[in-house]
Amino acid sequence: MRTTVLRPCKNTVLKGGLLANRADVAREKMIPYQWLALNDLVPDAEPSHAIENLRIAAGEKSGEFRGMVFQDSDVAKWLEAVAYSLAAHPDPELEAKADEVIDLVARAQQPDGYLNSYYTIVDPENRWTNLAYNHELYCAGHFIEAAVAYYEATGKDRLLQVVCRLVDHIDSIFGPEEGKKKGYPGHEEIELALVKLYRVTKDERHLKLASYFVEERGKQPRYFELEARARGTAESDHWGRKGHAYSQAHLPLRQQETVEGHAVRAMYLFSAAADLVQETGDEELFSTCEKLWNNTVNRRMYITGGIGSQAYNEGFSTDFDLPSSRAYAETCAAIGLFFWGHRMLQINPDRKYADVMERALYNGILSGMSWEGNRFFYVNPLAVSPEVCSSRKDHEHVKPTRQGWFTCACCPPNLARLLTSIQHYIYSCGEEGLYVHFFADSEVKSAVGGNSVKLRQRTDYPWNGRVQLELALEQPVEFSLAVRVPGWCQQASVKVNGEEIGDLQAATVKGYAVLTRAWQDGDRVELDLAMPIEKVYAHPKVQDGAGRIALQRGPVVYCLEEIDNGPDLHALVLASDPRFQLEMDPELQVPAITAQGYRLEAAADELYTRIPPRSVPVTIRAVPYFTWDNRRQGEMLVWLRSAGEA
């Protein structure tokens, strides 16, 4: 199989630009805000009770468990975000707070290593009896991810020890060996966490357990039915209604050909599968991942990188079924797709993965948070009418404005942990060189073939397609600098020290311009990505894209908002040959697009008439999708009708 797996370069610092701004907001606003939320100190927001649950589980307070069965995971994800934040921005006060939380978690751990505040408080006799619903392994996974991140950030291993004891306990309960339960989590997460743990501990049992959970899933007899019967419940209403595919347990993973069920669960499972491929080189498993990747991104993904097209299962329906206003497109699912893509990219450095990661990041992920970082979307639709949302049951899941917190508060901490570690995703190192996957004002220090390499990237991406890379080397080093030319870009040029590469195509491998030479200190590479405003078409099988276009510039998908265009956005039509113009939005401080168009106005008061509606010329204005709902609540629309499209 492929000889090398790339290593993400974590020694990266963001210097400025959009991602740095979002990471700053995550550190300065979201982490403190979420701390308040976890401690029930945010007025007008759903109380979390998550810290309180741990105190009760630790026997230090009395009271009842409150919140979701997976409430612990919000604390874990907060700790993980804090770890990334501390690595980039040391903060003794925050670290002390995190240490206290870790101590609390340690005290909530039971003598046998078990850790889960729900079962410890509510139902200690019935641990591990309801994997399908009750998320014990999921919470364990998030504690493991937090522990690894905190260890890597601070060198402190208290939480790592806690989760190692927890994993020992889990390993004593589950596995292929006789006498152990043949279970696997209802909500995947622990699988990828165990691979992370293995990479720190080098304990083969950790990798083996991850592999067991991935491979056992979906086998006959179905574990979720066995455990339901053991509990004395029928085969469960749940499985009858949503089916085993809800948890990707309808078939063994290697037999799955389409992405099914709950979108976040699917993404975490597939991420773990890619992790296993990285560790084991399993070609068959990679080909399973590849098949599922293609189905996901070519059949079941919104143009925003959002996935999950219905609320019912928080997940997938069928190929090309991507309704705009009833999208689920959970923030966490887009983040999960980003995680999975990143793992695939390290195995197979093909820009196709990075293109999808970028699509998700600049659209369906960043849309999940307000500019201020204190309001969040769980669901990220591509068309919103507040009136329809409030009058139709089938739009009940769609909030027309971001919320302060959620009963099921998975998305805000997931955003926080992604954004505080976003710099880890920009560069990778391989044996032959350094990969530049993404564009952000940043600096990376890495070792390439035993030599220390420092690279400074200067750019205002995604608002501008010019990217400058400058090397700082102690001595000349021969290596390949592989710079991604994004799939969205039709016209790119690359200069090395001011001289343009003549045949860029010939130098490009899987969408990366591979520049191999003996690099000198101070060498400069300039990338110029033409970034016109473009009309993007959906596949004709996508119903809600028929006769419509989306406006995109660079990786950023645009949308129309009522505040700019008035109500009834669906009555607007882009002119057949619009003159697109870019202007800075004075409030959002991002580039807005204007173009000629028409508004259809009724020829009569009647609902149905032979008289075509009148076309009134208007200027259509679009803003980046991820910035919508930051000014005033109202309608929003991505797929815009366009004149002159057949």
Task: Answer yes or no whether residue 245 interacts with a copy of itself by CB under 8 A.
Answer: no
481 near a copy of itself (CB under 8 A): no
Strands (E), 193-271: none
Instruction: Find the shortest distance in angstroms from Cβ 597 to a copy of itself.
Output: 10
H, E, C per residue of 13-56: EECCHHHHHHHHHHHHHHHHHHHHHHCCCCCCCCCCCHHHHHHH
**Judged by CB under 8 A, does residue 311 bind a copy of itself?**
yes
Q: In this structure, what DSSP letter does residue 365 have?
A: I
Among 23, 426, 550, 595, binds a copy of itself (CB under 8 A): 550
Q: Does 605 contact a copy of itself by CB under 8 A?
A: yes
β-strands 433-436, 477-484 pairing: parallel
| Burial of 61 per CB tally in 10 Å (0-12, 13-18, 19+) | exposed
Residue with tokens 């999975």: 340
CA dihedral 157, 159, 164, 165 (to 10 degrees): 120
Does residue number 303 form part of the binding site for a copy of itself (CB under 8 A)? yes
Q: Residue 536, interface with a copy of itself (CB under 8 A)?
A: yes
User: Which of these ranges, 103-111, 182-190, 313-321, 513-521, lies near a copy of itself under the rule CB under 8 A?
Assistant: 313-321
- Footprint (CB under 8 A) of a copy of itself, residues 319-348: 320-321, 326
From 559, 623, 591, 594, select the one nearest 302 (Cα to Cα). Answer: 559
Residue 546 CB, nearest approach to a copy of itself (Å): 5
Q: With binding defined as CB under 8 A, does residue 363 bind a copy of itself?
A: no
| Of 73, 248, 313, 374, the one binding a copy of itself by CB under 8 A | 313
Report the alpha-carbon distance of residue 123 to residue 140 in Å, rounded. 17
**547 is a site residue for a copy of itself (CB under 8 A):** yes
- Residue 539 binds to a copy of itself (criterion: CB under 8 A): yes
Question: Is residue 522 at the binding interface for a copy of itself, with CB under 8 A as the rule?
Answer: no
Omega of the bond prior to 462 within 30 degrees of 0, cis?
yes
- Chosen residue from 64, 283, 583, 601 binding a copy of itself by CB under 8 A: 601
Interface with a copy of itself by CB under 8 A: which range of 80-88, 140-148, 201-209, 564-572? 564-572
Which of 126, 407, 505, 609 binds a copy of itself (CB under 8 A)? It is 609
Q: Which amino acid is at 504?
A: L
Give me 531's structure tokens.
């970034």
Retrieve residue 121's tokens: 């408080």
The secondary element (H helix, E strand) that includes residue 276 is helix 263-280
DSSP assignment of 90-151:
--HHHHHHHHHHHHHHHHHS-TTS---HHHHHH-GGGTTS-HHHH-HHHHHHHHHHHHHHHH
Binding mask 251-290 toward a copy of itself (x if CB under 8 A, else -) reads ----------------------------------------
Extract the runs of DSSP E, i.e. beta strands, from 286-420: 383-384
Chain-centre distance of CA 280, in angstroms?
A: 25
Alpha-carbon Rg of the chain, whole angstroms? 25
CB of 390 to a copy of itself, least distance (A): 8
If binding is defined by CB under 8 A, does position 559 make contact with a copy of itself? no
CA nearest neighbour of 557 among 613, 492, 623? 623
Q: Which of residues 390-449 bind a copy of itself (CB under 8 A)?
A: 391-394
* Binding span for a copy of itself by CB under 8 A among 73-81, 199-207, 410-418, 536-544: 536-544
CB 32 within 8 A of CB 461: no
Give the binding range for a copy of itself (CB under 8 A) out of 94-102, 291-299, 363-371, 473-481.
291-299
Q: Could you identify the residue written with the tokens 């106005």?
A: 601
Q: Which is nearer to a copy of itself, 506 or 607 (CB)?
A: 607
Q: Does 180 bind a copy of itself (CB under 8 A)?
A: no
- Active site members: 314, 410
Q: How far is the CB of 575 from a copy of itself (least distance, A)?
A: 9
Q: How far is the CB of 634 from a copy of itself (least distance, A)?
A: 15
Site for a copy of itself contains 178 (CB under 8 A):
no
Q: Indicate the SS3 state at residue 341.
A: helix
- Given candidates 570, 625, 628, 630, which one binds a copy of itself under the rule CB under 8 A? 570
Residue (142 or 599) nearer to a copy of itself, CB: 599
How many residues lie near a copy of itself (CB under 8 A)?
59
Euclidean distance between the first and final Cα of the chain, in Å?
Answer: 46
In this chain, which stretch among 92-100, 192-200, 318-326, 577-585 interacts with a copy of itself, using CB under 8 A? 318-326
Cβ proximity of 370 and 376 under 8 Å = yes
Of 168, 568, 585, 587, the one binding a copy of itself (CB under 8 A) is 568
Q: What is the dihedral of CA 430, 434, 439, 443, to 10 degrees?
A: 120
Contact 117, 72 (CB under 8 A): yes
Please give the structure tokens belonging to residue 334: 């887009």
> Which stretch in 204-212, 370-378, 453-461, 540-548 sits in contact with a copy of itself by CB under 8 A?
540-548
Which listed residue (110, 161, 258, 317) binds a copy of itself by CB under 8 A? Answer: 317
CB of 156 to a copy of itself, least distance (A): 45
Nearest to 421 by CA among 86, 33, 90: 86
Integer Cα distance of 107 and 63 in angstroms: 17
Nearest approach, Cβ of residue 407 and a copy of itself (Å):
18
For a copy of itself, the binding residue among 177, 232, 255, 646 (CB under 8 A) is 646
| Positions that interact with a copy of itself (CB under 8 A) | 297-299, 301, 303, 309-313, 317-318, 320-321, 326, 385, 387-388, 391-394, 490, 534-543, 546-547, 550, 568, 570-571, 573, 598, 600-603, 605-613, 615, 641, 643, 645-646
